[in-house]
């Protein structure tokens, strides 16, 4: 069984979260960039930012609005790594639904972080530099 | 759908009652109506348009519009005498399955002094025949609206100009420099009125819900935020208008620069010619470099957005890798042996090493069987080890790739951006040098053209920078809205009764967004189909030696025509080629609209010289195949050689003859 089979078809967020994703993706550095059209990029950014500040936030009315097929294998292994880190149980990677739940909740927590970064840095260049700084810090840590 | 008869009574030059009969053979052929200038060709189009929509075609001046009643008939009438003006169109009068219609519009006039004054508003009558050949007639005042509906179901009023049009005005109407009419024509045939009105309706409903949302707020901070959001939204709208205007200015300046370049190319000063061509090439190269720069910037952003999550989660990935390796070392993971093999060994009661696996054979066999049975129980985890092996490689690769992408590749790409910037600057310096040298050329007219060109170029730079700044400003305001909305969501969560209104408002926001994207998708689809059909038709019709490889209608609704070397030719083509391209465009519009109505073209080959006309004629029989096409041609257009070339497609020929103040349509003799 491959990692994709374990994850199934969809990852849950809800309509309110998707609206906030759309708000982010309709402007800023995501706008007019066909390569970043899919909301999964915002989900992954939010997931990482939520995980970074350890903000796991449950949400109401989950709906499978993100398609697993749009995630890369690297993305899925990153999600799995976070879930295993959270549960400290390697065998947890066979539990697709629970791994997705953990990821969605971290991404929900991280959405506020991303929105705050956008509010703080606004322009594309400044936002890119802020993200690059966070990423470099994580690599240097 | 085909027209079998047109009856006209007292309409403009048509005196008394006259009939134009189209026989069944004309359903998919050309019918030629030849006439001298000012005989009444356009009036025939006007008569059809008036009959269908009570609307005149074209932009006839007021005086002529007033003289809609035939002058000869008017002069014959006594003061106070009454007569009517009538146009009747018969559709599908044959034995096919198509429903037959007769549409008749009439207006009664009375002579008053030197004028004919309408004494009743024009009324329309529609007779419709069903499959059983029973007719229903709608002719009362109460059925006027219904008649309009029937007519619009045959050919909607807002697209009739793509079926009844004047060849002379095509170029003026669909100017390649102004994309507004091209956009409007594509919008019209897209029939997106319902989507548009649903969009409008939802917007109004949303305003209502939002006002309820505003009223129920009762929180000063929330109230303040809402008004700030509104203020910022209108600021974005203002900025968008400024961007649109700046882009229009840019478009106009670019077109003018192209025109100047063409003029300079014709100038007989070799040195200037060389400079102008070099300058144009450098500017072209800068445009391409700018595009490359933008694309590279996007690639760098994409790469960053895709890599940042993995970089931030590096600890989790490393910890996962460590766990896999530790488990492997400690043999915590079950072996990767499939159940099917273990069962086979147990069934055969012999191991691959030769050991007897009958549990009753001896103690050791018993133990071995127990171990295998235990492994069988665990074996659902063998998939886990397989997955983890796969994961191990992915994670090792990823951990290697992340710093490379984030540090090395990003640095390399940023340095590429710098290189492009340097090349653009060098090109700009060279352009400035050429401009300086060109200033010294004092040939009549050239100096002013050069100066105008430089002014336009400088203006372009300023406008482009302004657009960039304005786009940046929009993003900044968007960020502010995002923060305010978030603050409001937090306040709203603490308030009673607000939640439900908020859900409704958000649902409407989503629906509006969805409708907007449907609207966009439909337009893009129609635009692409029109583009494809225009090019197909154009390739069948054009004759010049250039191998045109690309025709496109961009998202900005600008037409582009490129040759095999990717050179843009749209502003460079001859008037004949232009006419053929526009005839192809209009044929595509009528086809994509989905309405099968006969096509009337007044002076189709206007704006072409004799040689071009002969070339067009070679392929013209292929134009609008399967359609009834009525060509209203000038006598000098319909020469014997032209006639000979298109004769294979012609079914009937008629001639419009002017006798005094009236015009008659007679069969060709």
| Signed CA dihedral, A31, A33, A39, A40: sign only | negative
* Residue A99, pLDDT score: 95
In a domain, B583, yes or no: no
Residues B367-386 as b or e (16 or more Cβ within 10 Å = b): ebbeebeeeeeebebbbbbe
**Is there a contact between B74 and B94 (Cβ–Cβ < 8 Å)?**
no
Q: Tokens 């009223």, residue?
A: B215
**Cα–Cα dist B472/A28, whole Å:** 9
- Would the pTM of this model clear 0.90, i.e. be above it? no
**Nearest partner of A61 among A16, A106, A19, A107, judged by Cα:** A16
In a domain, B282, yes or no: yes
- Residue ending a domain, among B409, B442, B477, is B409
Give backbone dihedrals phi and psi of B290, rounded to 5 degrees, phi first. Answer: -60, -40
Q: Tokens 């949303």, residue?
A: B206
The conformation of residue B35, written as its DSSP 8-state character, comes to: E
CA distance B237 to chain A (A): 14
In a domain, B535, yes or no: no
Q: Are residues B292 and B358 in the same domain?
A: no
From residue B370, alpha-carbon distances to B94, B331, B375, B377 in Å are 90, 19, 9, 11
From residue B459, alpha-carbon distances to B246, B264, B569, B577 in Å are 11, 20, 25, 32
From residue B643, alpha-carbon distances to B314, B466, B637, B647, B652 in Å are 78, 56, 9, 6, 12
- Chain B residues in contact with A27 (beta carbon < 8 A): 474-475, 478-479
CATH code at position B131: 3.40.50.300
- Residue ending a domain, among B381, B409, B437, is B409
CA distance B236 to chain A (A): 12
Neighbours of B358 (CB within 10 A): 12
**Cα–Cα dist A74/B377, whole Å:** 31
In a domain, B442, yes or no: yes
- Chain B residues in contact with A139 (beta carbon < 8 A): 311, 314, 402-403, 406
Q: Are residues B245 and B276 in the same domain?
A: yes
The conformation of residue A71, written as its DSSP 8-state character, comes to: S
DSSP 3-state of B573:
coil
* Residue B61, pLDDT score: 42
In a domain, B126, yes or no: yes
Successive 10-residue mean pLDDT values, chain B, 669 residues: 93 92 91 90 92 70 63 91 94 81 93 88 88 81 89 91 88 76 89 82 79 61 83 90 90 86 76 82 90 92 94 95 85 61 80 81 86 70 74 92 92 94 94 82 76 88 88 82 78 71 79 85 92 90 81 88 84 84 92 91 84 82 88 89 90 90 84
Q: Are residues B288 and B327 in the same domain?
A: no
Q: Are residues B27 and B137 in the same domain?
A: yes
- Domain span including residue B399: 311-409
Nearest residue of chain B to residue A3 (CA atoms): B387
Please judge whether A23 and B324 are an interchain contact, meaning their C-beta atoms are less than 8 angstroms apart. Answer: no
B403, B478, B483: residue with CB nearest A139 = B403
Q: Are residues B296 and B327 in the same domain?
A: no
- State the virtual CA torsion across B607, B611, B617, B618 in degrees, nearest 10: -140
**Cα–Cα dist B276/B431, whole Å:** 10
B313, B315, B387: residue with CB nearest A1 = B387
Please judge whether A41 and B306 are an interchain contact, meaning their C-beta atoms are less than 8 angstroms apart. Answer: yes
Nearest residue of chain B to residue A2 (CA atoms): B387
**Cα–Cα dist B530/B189, whole Å:** 10
Successive 10-residue mean pLDDT values, chain A, 141 residues: 87 88 78 85 96 94 90 95 93 91 96 88 80 92 73
* Residue B280, pLDDT score: 85
The Cβ-side half-sphere exposure at A12, using a 13 Å CA radius, reads 14
Which tokens go with B521?
Answer: 């998708």
Please judge whether B391 and A93 are an interchain contact, meaning their C-beta atoms are less than 8 angstroms apart. Answer: yes
Question: Residues with Cβ < 8 Å from A67, sequence gap 6 or more?
Answer: A9, A10, A11, A40
Partner residues linked to B34 by β-bridges: B633, B655
Q: Are residues B277 and B336 in the same domain?
A: no
Mutation choice for B interface testing from A42, A73, A90 by most B CBs within 10 A: A90
- In chain B, the largest separation of any two C-alpha atoms, in whole Å, equals 134
**Cα–Cα dist A122/B386, whole Å:** 45
Flag whether residue A63 sits within 8 Å of chain B, measured between CB atoms. no
The DSSP H or E segment spanning B101 is strand B100-112
Q: Tokens 């329309």, residue?
A: B124
Q: Are residues B266 and B398 in the same domain?
A: no
Number of structural domains found in chain B: 3
Q: Are residues B94 and B118 in the same domain?
A: yes
DSSP 3-state of B603:
coil
Please judge whether B320 and A141 are an interchain contact, meaning their C-beta atoms are less than 8 angstroms apart. Answer: no
Q: Taking all residues of chain B, what is their mean pLDDT, rounded to a whole number?
A: 85
Q: Are residues B85 and B21 in the same domain?
A: yes
Mutation choice for A interface testing from B482, B506, B510 by most A CBs within 10 A: B482
Tens digits of residue pLDDT in B426-451: 999 998 888 888 777 777 677 788 88
* Pairing assessment for the beta strands B3-9 and B599-602 based on DSSP bridges: unpaired
- Chain A residues in contact with B304 (beta carbon < 8 A): 128, 131-132, 135
Residues B175-213 as b or e (16 or more Cβ within 10 Å = b): ebebbeebbebbbbbbbbeebeebbeebeeebeebbeeb
**Is there a contact between B111 and B85 (Cβ–Cβ < 8 Å)?**
no
| Signed CA dihedral, A34, A38, A44, A46: sign only | positive
Estimate the share of chain B in helix, then strand, then coil, as percent rounded to the nearest 5. 60, 15, 20
The conformation of residue A123, written as its DSSP 8-state character, comes to: S
Flag whether residue A73 sits within 8 Å of chain B, measured between CB atoms. yes
Which parts of B554-648 fold into alpha helices (H)? 575-593, 610-619, 640-646
Tens digits of residue pLDDT in A89-107: 888 988 999 999 999 999 9
Mutation choice for A interface testing from B304, B308, B476 by most A CBs within 10 A: B308
Please judge whether B308 and A84 are an interchain contact, meaning their C-beta atoms are less than 8 angstroms apart. Answer: no
Provide the terminal-to-terminal Cα distance of chain A, rounded to the nearest Å: 34
Q: Are residues B26 and B149 in the same domain?
A: yes
- Chain B residues in contact with A90 (beta carbon < 8 A): 320, 323-324, 327, 388
* Residue A123, pLDDT score: 60
Please judge whether A135 and B391 are an interchain contact, meaning their C-beta atoms are less than 8 angstroms apart. Answer: no
Residues B433-457 as b or e (16 or more Cβ within 10 Å = b): ebbeebeeeeeeebeebbeebbebb
In a domain, B213, yes or no: no
In a domain, B603, yes or no: yes
Which tokens go with B193?
Answer: 């009125």
Q: Are residues B31 and B143 in the same domain?
A: yes
Q: Are residues B273 and B345 in the same domain?
A: no
DSSP 3-state of B637:
coil
- Chain B residues in contact with A7 (beta carbon < 8 A): none
**Nearest partner of B455 among B659, B253, B222, judged by Cα:** B253
Please judge whether B391 and A3 are an interchain contact, meaning their C-beta atoms are less than 8 angstroms apart. Answer: yes
ipTM computed for the complex: 0.97
DSSP A13-30: E-HHHHHHHHHHHTSGGG
- Residue ending a domain, among B476, B498, B520, is B498
- Chain A residues in contact with B513 (beta carbon < 8 A): 22
* Residue B60, pLDDT score: 42
**Cα–Cα dist A35/A55, whole Å:** 28
From residue B81, alpha-carbon distances to B12, B115, B472 in Å are 18, 11, 71
In a domain, B196, yes or no: no
* Residue B625, pLDDT score: 83
* Residue B612, pLDDT score: 80
């Amino acid at each position: 069984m491959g990692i994709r089979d374990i994850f199934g078809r969809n990852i849950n967020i809800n309509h309110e979260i998707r609206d906030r994703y759309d708000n982010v993706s309709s402007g800023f550095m995501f706008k007019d960039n066909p390569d970043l059209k899919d909301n999964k990029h915002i989900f992954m950014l939010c997931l990482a930012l939520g995980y970074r500040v350890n903000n796991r936030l449950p949400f109401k009315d989950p709906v499978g609005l993100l398609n697993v097929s749009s995630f890369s294998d690297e993305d899925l292994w990153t999600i799995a790594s976070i879930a295993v880190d959270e549960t400290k149980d390697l065998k947890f990677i066979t539990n697709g639904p629970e791994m997705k739940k953990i990821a969605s909740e971290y991404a929900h927590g991280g959405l506020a972080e991303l929105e705050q970064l956008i509010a703080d840095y606004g322009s594309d260049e400044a936002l890119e530099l802020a993200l690059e700084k966070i990423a470099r810090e994580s690599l240097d840590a | 759908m085909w027209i079998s008869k047109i009856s006209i009574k007292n309409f403009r030059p048509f005196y008394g009652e006259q009939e134009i009969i189209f026989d069944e053979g004309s359903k998919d052929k050309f019918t030629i109506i030849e006439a001298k200038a000012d005989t009444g060709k356009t009036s025939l189009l006007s008569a059809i348009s008036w009959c269908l929509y009570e609307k005149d075609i074209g932009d006839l001046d007021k005086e002529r519009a007033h003289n809609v009643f035939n002058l000869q008939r008017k002069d014959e009438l006594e003061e106070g005498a009454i007569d009517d003006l009538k146009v009747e169109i018969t559709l599908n009068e044959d034995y096919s399955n198509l429903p037959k219609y007769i549409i008749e519009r009439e207006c009664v006039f009375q002579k008053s002094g030197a004028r004919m004054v309408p004494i009743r508003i024009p009324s329309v009558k529609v007779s419709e025949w069903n499959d059983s050949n029973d007719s229903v007639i709608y002719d009362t005042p109460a059925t006027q609206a219904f008649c309009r509906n029937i007519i619009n179901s045959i050919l909607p009023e807002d697209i009739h100009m793509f079926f009844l049009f004047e060849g002379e005005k095509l170029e003026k109407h669909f100017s390649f420099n102004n994309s507004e009419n091209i956009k409007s024509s594509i919008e019209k045939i897209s029939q997106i009125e319902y989507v548009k009105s649903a969009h409008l309706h939802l917007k109004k409903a949303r305003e209502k819900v939002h006002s309820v949302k505003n009223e129920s707020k009762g929180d000063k901070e929330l109230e303040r935020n809402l008004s700030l959001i509104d203020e910022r939204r209108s600021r974005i709208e203002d900025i968008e208008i400024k961007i649109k205007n700046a882009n229009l200015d840019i478009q106009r300046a670019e077109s003018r620069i192209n025109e100047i370049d063409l003029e300079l190319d014709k100038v007989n000063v070799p040195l200037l010619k060389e400079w102008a061509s070099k300058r144009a090439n450098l500017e072209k190269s800068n445009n391409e470099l700018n595009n490359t720069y933008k694309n590279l910037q996007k690639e760098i952003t994409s790469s960053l957005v895709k890599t940042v999550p993995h970089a931030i989660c590096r600890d989790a990935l490393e910890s996962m890798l460590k766990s896999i390796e530790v488990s492997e070392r400690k043999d915590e993971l079950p072996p990767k042996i499939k159940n099917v093999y273990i069962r086979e060994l147990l069934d055969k009661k012999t191991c691959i090493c030769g050991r007897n696996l009958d549990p009753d054979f001896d103690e050791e066999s018993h133990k071995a069987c127990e171990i295998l049975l235990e492994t069988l129980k665990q074996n659902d985890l063998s998939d886990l080890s397989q997955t983890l092996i796969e994961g191990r490689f992915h994670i090792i690769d990823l951990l290697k790739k992340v710093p490379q992408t984030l540090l090395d590749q990003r640095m390399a790409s940023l340095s590429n951006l710098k290189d492009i910037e340097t090349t653009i600057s060098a090109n700009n310096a060279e352009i400035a040098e050429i401009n300086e040298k060109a200033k010294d050329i004092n040939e009549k007219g050239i100096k002013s053209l050069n100066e105008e060109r430089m002014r336009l170029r400088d203006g372009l730079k300023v406008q482009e920078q302004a657009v960039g700044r304005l786009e940046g400003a929009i993003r900044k305001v968007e960020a502010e809205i995002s923060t305010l909305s978030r603050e409001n969501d937090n306040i709203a969560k603490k308030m009673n009764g607000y939640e439900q209104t908020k859900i409704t408002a958000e649902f409407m926001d989503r629906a509006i967004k969805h409708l907007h994207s449907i609207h966009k998708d439909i337009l893009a689809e129609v635009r692409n189909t029109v583009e494809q059909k225009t090019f197909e038709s154009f390739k069948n019709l054009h004759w010049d030696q250039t191998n045109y490889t690309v025709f496109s209608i961009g998202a900005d609704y600008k037409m582009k025509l490129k040759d095999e070397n990717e050179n843009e030719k749209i502003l460079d083509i001859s008037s004949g080629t232009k006419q053929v391209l526009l005839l192809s465009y209009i044929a595509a519009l009528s086809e994509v609209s989905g309405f099968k109505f006969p096509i009337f073209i007044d002076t189709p080959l206007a704006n072409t010289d004799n040689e071009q006309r002969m070339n067009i004629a070679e392929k013209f029989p292929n134009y609008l195949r399967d359609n009834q096409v009525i060509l209203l041609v000038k006598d000098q257009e319909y020469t014997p050689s032209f006639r000979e070339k298109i004769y294979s497609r012609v079914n009937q020929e008629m001639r419009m003859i002017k006798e005094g103040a009236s015009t008659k349509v007679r069969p060709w003799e």
